[in-house]
Structure formats: structure tokens, C-alpha cells
Amino acid sequence: MTTPDVFPLLKKGKHASPKDGGCVMEVCSFLAGEEWSDQPACVQPTLAEISRTVNDLLTTDHRQQLINYVNRLINTTHYIDIDDEYRKAYEGDSFNENIVNAVEDVNHYINAFYRPEWNLLDEDAWQDARAIASENLLDAYDAFLTVLEEENGQPTADPITTQQLDQVKELVG
């Protein structure tokens, strides 16, 4: 996947306005016609939470690839409740094993960023480890979204248009 050249730099964290940059959820809110927010109403809440975490952990270069996932995130409110599937799994009820396993894979790669031994690395080794962890997390996130789409159907968002990209670019200067 390639990131469109005209798209603004995705950044970590929450941003007051598009001029400050935006995370993948804030871009989703804008392109869905909602108020600028990192908690867009158009994205299934747990999926939004996972997406914010992924956005914040990835390296800057890997984070930019998230723009390619925006259409896969908008209009996902009808998706199976991920938290509910976890609850059912832990209570021994019938649950969607594909979704729970995909979330577990993403969580595994999220946890890689918090390994205590990373504190012992010099700067170059730390950057290398972070780049590898980012690549693995992005792959797991892509697989997670694919499982959600297989279980729930494709989201109904239209592809991002050049006009929408220009609107976002204009907002962020």
C-alpha cells in the first residue's frame, strides 16, 4: 500500500484541530462528516480504541500507512462487539474465536513495545527494535481488520476522494 502524497502527517495523540495534525481516528471523524474527534461515532468503539493505540505506538513512517485503513474503519458501528466476544470467551459462552484470536495477535504486538529489556538498548538498537515491532504490529492490525471484515462484511464507506484529501490538506495547512 502507498500513502497518498497529499495527505497530512498522522501524529500520536489527540489534537485540538486539524492544524495540529491528526491521528487516524480524527481523520476518520473528519472524512465521515463528524466533528473533529479521536472518538468518531462512525467507528465501532473497541475498534477505535485499538486503532488509537496502534496509531500512537507505530513509528512515524509506519503510522503514515494507517491512512490506507480509513475506509476500512468508517461505518463499522454495526460490527460485532469485540468486548462482548472477550466477555463470552472468559465466561465460557459461545464466542467468535476468529475475532478473539485476531485481537490477541494485535495485543501481542502492542505488548512488544513495553518489553523491559528495551530499556537496556542503545539508541540505534532501540530504533531498530521499534521499527521491527511497528512492522509486526501493522501486519497484525491489517490481519485483524481483515478478520472483522470477513465476520461482519465490508464497511460501507466510499473510497477517499482526491477532493477529500485536498480538504484535509487545506485544513492542516
CA neighbor of 11 nearest in space, from 59, 43, 45, 79? 59
Instruction: Kindly indicate the confidence band of residue 159, based on its pLDDT and cuts at 50, 70 and 90.
Output: low
- On the question of pLDDT at 110 being above 50, the answer is yes
Mean pLDDT of 78-89: 92
Q: What pLDDT is recorded for position 135? A: 96
Instruction: Kindly indicate the confidence band of residue 71, based on its pLDDT and cuts at 50, 70 and 90.
Output: confident
Q: What pLDDT is recorded for position 166? A: 67
Judge whether 99 and 82 are in contact, CB under 8 Å.
Answer: yes
Rg (CA), the chain: 17
Domain coordinates in residue numbering, the chain:
18-154
pTM: 0.85
CA neighbor of 54 nearest in space, from 144, 116, 138, 135? 138
Q: What pLDDT is recorded for position 59? A: 95
CA neighbor of 102 nearest in space, from 55, 165, 156, 145? 145
Please state, for a pLDDT cut of 90, what percent of the chain lies above it: 69
Q: What is the pLDDT of residues 121-132, one digit of tens each?
A: 999 999 999 999
* Mean of the per-residue pLDDT values of the chain: 87
For residue 23, CA distances in Å to 18, 102, 128 come to 10, 22, 23
Mean pLDDT of 2-28: 78
